[in-house]
Amino acid sequence: MPDPYSTPVDTRQLEPLARALRALDEHAELNHRYRAMLTESRELLAAPEIRLTQARGLAKRLVVLCRAAGPVAEFPAHAADALRAGQQQAESLINDAEPTTG
């Protein structure tokens, strides 16, 4: 397995994570600390490429933000779908030796 610190990930492959973060930004009631975490995450995704370790960190942030936002059922259908897809990609990034992106 290649070193995750030096393994690049094209941020276009992280679109499910990006959509989930947008959904949280638009629909979640978050305090200023979670908002700062959300902003930093979206700024990192603006780069064309990040390290796999950074992508995994973003995935963990998404998990924290989703917990802070509350039940997915309270979101509009399109936002809930985006959150579920983002959570699925986050789970893969966090748990799999060779995660799926995209």
When the pLDDT of each residue in the chain is averaged and rounded to a whole number, the result is 92
Tell me which amino acid residue 42 is. Answer: R
- The pTM of this model reads 0.89
Summarize pLDDT for 56-92 with one digit per residue, the tens.
999 999 999 999 999 988 899 999 999 999 999 999 9
C-beta atoms surrounding 44 within 10 Å: 17
Q: Is the pLDDT of residue 102 over 60?
A: no
Question: What is the rounded average pLDDT of the residues 29-55?
Answer: 96
